Amino acid sequence: MARVPVKSRRELELMRESCRIVAEVLTLIGAQVRPGLATRELDGMAEEYIRSQGGEPAFKGYGADRQNLFPATLCISIDDVVVHGIPDGRQLEEGQVVSVDVGVKKKGYFGDAARTFPVGRTSEEKARLLRVTEASLAAGIAQAVAGNHLYDISAAVQHYVEAAGFSVVRDLVGHGIGRQLHEEPAVPNYGVAGTGMVLKEDMVLAIEPMVNAGTYVVRLEEDGWTVRTSDGRPSAHFEHTVVVKQGAADILTRHG
């Protein structure tokens, strides 16, 4: 098993700053989400704010395929798009839900978080999907305690989601974070409690339930980024960067 880095006090201070910017971007964007606004406009607002704070958009130019790097600051995923939606000229419409994922790099350290917002008034199913997904994130974070096992987080998310009649995406997972946007360990949203590595104080994890109203099966679009539900039903995504502590995790991307 790969070594999972434990962060120093100085590293955590630097990450706290990156995560502050992430949280502020999500608050800024959430206040702007409304029918008629193009997703590209939201992306521009986010990049401008990040750079005004001395940070860099972590997602822009990210990717393993140098011929197809992610082109934007935000991942903006509407309705049946689970993650990695690319902002463009498409306008938001009343009744949609829109997931916004943002990463920031500042002074060599990363922060990462996501929230899903309703566009105007949505259906009760979509509203409940958002509530359950956010609550499942809280359930997972409650297990991010020194001495617990990694898959205690996973099992808590899965149990909460499935008890509500929804499904957790299995092809995509949370991750460690620090000097790299994606570090060890992978943090699935499903698993068996009491298994996986033992969590140590000052490990930093990006916990991110991706929850579908229907099947957990997803498909990748031809653009190489956009991931959709295979049945066309809506999906929601909430994420926080947290520090494993004794007693309770420290949520670095908590928003006011």
pLDDT in tens, 44-86: 999 999 999 999 999 999 999 999 999 999 999 999 999 999 9
- Asked if omega into 87 is within 30° of 0 (cis), the reply is no
What single letter denotes the amino acid at residue 94? Answer: E
Domain edges within the chain: 9-251
Sole residue written with tokens 């989601």: 161
Does domain 9-251 bear CATH number 3.90.230.10? yes
- pLDDT above 90 (res 176): yes
Task: Look at residues 143, 109, 133, 114 and name the one whose alpha carbon lies nearest to residue 46.
Answer: 114
The answer to whether the CB of 251 falls within 8 A of the CB of 141 is yes
Between CA 184 and CA 176 the distance in angstroms is 5
The model's confidence at residue 150, banded by pLDDT at 50, 70 and 90, is very high
Strands 97-106 and 109-118: antiparallel
For the entire predicted model, the pTM comes to 0.96
Task: Look at residues 97, 95, 93 and name the one whose alpha carbon lies nearest to residue 85.
Answer: 97
pLDDT digits (tens, 9 = 90+) for 221-231: 999 999 999 99
Distant-in-sequence, close-in-space partners of 243: CB < 8 Å, separation ≥ 6: 7, 12, 202, 203, 204, 249, 250, 252
pLDDT digits (tens, 9 = 90+) for 82-110: 999 999 999 999 999 999 999 999 999 99
Between CA 239 and CA 228 the distance in angstroms is 18
